[in-house]
Chains A and B, each alone.
Chain A
Amino acid sequence: MSNPLTVKIIRAVMGDIARRGWLPLLLGFVGAFSLPVMLLGVFKARGILAGNDPDMIIIYFIFAEIMGMVFGSAVLHAMGSPSRLYSLPISDLSIGLVQMVPATLLVVCQTVLSGWILNLLFDLPWPWLGLALCFSVIFATFQAGLILFYQSLWMVPALVGPMILEGFWLKSRHGPVFAQPNSYWETLTLFEVLVMALALALAYRIGIWGINRQRHGLQWESSLFEYLAKFFNALFGKRRTALTSPIHAQEWAEWTKKGWFLPIAVTMVLFITVFIWGCSSRKAADLVYTLLIQGWFFSVLCLITGLLLGHMGTTDSSLGINQFLATKPIQTASLSSILLKTAMKSILLAVIPWLFLLSLALVFAPDHATHHPDVEFSWWYFPGVILSAWATMSATLCLALTGRSTSITLPLALYCGWLIVMVTVSNMAPKWVSEIFFFSVVSLFGVALFAITLIAWGVALKRKVLSASQALLAAGFLALIMSLAGWQYSDRMPGGLHFFILILGLLSLTVFPFAGAPIALAWNRTR
């Protein structure tokens, strides 16, 4: 490390990371606390934000984890792959440290800074130092596992195992491991600091070891996984899929490549939920409550899946449609309808295990589910979950289908900008001004969504991508769900007419993709 050349290279690499990574880091930073800011803003507007309320510990815990995950992804993206440094004349140790130490520091700084901003904005007493240090250890462990087992069949257990262990340890700092968090991690003991320092040092050592193995092309012996892979290959791999038409072939390709992701992800989440529930509460009512909450969070997973399904590029970073697909003799409208069909199938298959588990839990706790104070539960809950999942997934799918990064970053930037303005106004302006502002923005957003849907349908009809009968069908469907929403919507929801306009705008997104997807894909395919 004392070699002047090494120091020079490290400086150059750090400069490169700063240049390449500033945007993802900035977006990650803003994105990480946008959800907490939005929800805390709503709580504050409704007058139910009380920093000392014990129930807030759960919210604090969840927010912290979401922020950690979002910013962690941005840090991973910003750091890039260590393989780009392998041909430079520096040691494995230097590469490891250059790759891991700044990432650790970034995670600590982000957690402390975001936490401090949240505390300041919403007058909260939440402690962040312990969490920041623990997140940095978890992140370093994740990074080490990723480096050591990159492209190996052992990667998933190597990432999940230590993270579960460290997750339990983090949980133990907030009360019993198998129960709801009931205390803040306010003071750091010497023992805790030593444990985290040791874990961090171990993660660095493993990461450097991993770099040494990767750099010199050393393969992992993975006989168990190799055996399993060969077994499944023998079972399924040789099966020749008889693809009879372009539509059939493309449906097969979309499903095999990306469509299965959502059902598998949901099944895994449910598995973990049942595992944690089995280890902690074991009360059917708690499981019902968790599953009902998860139903609304299903849309968050669909948001990511939509981006994944709409990504047509060759690599993760290239969003433009790959030429292999672009030069296939298939109409763009057919291609987009296949994608929408895959999205729909994906949602419906993902909902099945969740519905099954919820039904099972409801058998044991029916009364609790229908009378839970925190969860709206009526007949419209299930179509609401599915429609919101569909609207979210197909909207992000259309954004990704454009094949342009600005289509994704611009709405994100607008959203973040809106949050910043909203928080600023709600904290600095008189209450009546902030209320008028907030509800006006909400209504405008609803109107904008509706207008975008109408414009997309108009363009699609003009280009003859869709027929008049399809437009009538969509209009009929939209009118039906809007009427049902109007019938169900009552003054029990805050915001009155403003929120109702927003809901109508969001409902229009359910038919938007039928016009939006072919237009977006055509824009991507022919530039």
Chain B
Amino acid sequence: MTENILEIQSLRRQFGETTALDGVSLTVPKGGVFGLIGGNGAGKTTLIKHTLGLLKAQSGSVRVFGLDPVADPVGTLGRIGYLSENRELSDWMRIHQIISYTSAFYPNWDPVYAERLRSDFDLDPMANIHSLSRGQRARTGLLLALAHRPDFLILDEPSSGLDPVVRRDILGAIIRTIADEGRTVLFSSHLLDEVERVADHIAILHQGRIQLSSPMEKVLLDHKRVQYRLPAEVDRFPANGIWLLAEGFGRDWSVVTAASTEAIHEVTKAMGALIQSIEPLSLEDIFVARITAKSSAGETGS
């Protein structure tokens, strides 16, 4: 049986009238990189804040390493490395001070590894945090998140607004972390090419609900784009319950589906249509299809 690092059951969160999370259930298995993707305002950060114990579940439950992060911050946060999009750090400290300060909180802090990261990231130990560039801040945050070799690394939109060199550092850090056996990374981003490169399991969060949670390989394998030629011109692609998104006009339509090849052929036969090609999809295409399908489900009849 696979051990789960994170278990979320029917989590619901409202901010005033806005429902940020609407009965989310999610499990993150131990080991590997779990990509959490979703558009702006999908609820990714809210979900992560619950994982860190910064938000208390209004209903439902959150367990990290089998513990409640609100009741036991030391037991959970001590094994988590966290880097947020905001990259909040103590601005009044210097680099060497923030390293020394942070190290005191983690018994597993590896000073040699910390020094190596500092040197690799080209961070001046005497530099003031408030004077660091955005990229340097991200690197400092990454150093602090990694140097205690956390069991669970949580990166909330870590690459947002950063140049390709820093983004490469972040991806490198993820790869290094999972190179240590049994460690887990939860990686939230809307830079889907990055997620596709490193994640081996993804969950799509949209309007506070999990739309899909599956191994990356399966997601890429299941989703495909089918180019159809219909027997007659239509204004709307015929509803048949298997497609997520249909684009085109007249007789030529491009359809995104997660159905099996058998189901596709069956439906095609029933429509009297001709399949011109079946192509694999990128994660970005799948994401767009999933989100668009859900947003316009009423209109498309999906």
Contact = CB atoms under 8 A, between A and B. Distances in A.
Is this pair of chains taken from one and the same complex? yes
Interface in A231-274: 233, 237-238, 240-246, 248-249, 252-253, 256-257
A330 B100 contact: no
B178 interface: no
B82 interface: yes
B100 A241 contact: yes
A323 interface: yes
Given A246-B105, A249-B104, A331-B74, A326 B54 contact: yes
Query: Which range contains the number of B residues in contact with the other chain?
Result: 20 to 34
Contacts of B121: none
A332 interface: yes
A332 B101 contact: no
B113 interface: no
Nearest to A238: B126
A243 B70 contact: no
Contacts of A241: 97, 100
A314 interface: yes
A252 B19 CA distance: 40
B54 A253 contact: no
Contacts of A527: 54-56
Given A242-B100, A248-B104, A329-B105, A257 B92 contact: yes
A173 interface: no
B77 A328 contact: yes
Contacts of B55: 526-527
A525 interface: yes
Given A238-B126, A329-B73, A324 B90 contact: yes
B61 interface: no
A2 interface: no
Interface residues of A, number: 31
A323 B101 contact: no
B139 to A, nearest CB: 15
Contact of B53 (A240, A243, A253, A526): A526
Interface string B63-90: 0000000100111111010101010111
Contact of A246 (B91, B96, B104): B104
Given A246-B105, A248-B104, A330 B90 contact: no
Contact of B101 (A233, A243, A327): A243
A180 interface: no
Interface in A107-164: none
Contacts of B106: 329
B77 to A, nearest CB: 4
A243 B100 contact: yes
A109 B55 CA distance: 45
B54 A327 contact: yes
A244 B101 CA distance: 9
B74 A323 contact: no
Given A324-B89, A324-B90, A243 B103 contact: yes
B134 to A, nearest CB: 15
Contacts of B76: 329
Contacts of A237: 94, 126
5 contacts: A237-B126, A256-B92, A314-B88, A329-B73, A329-B76
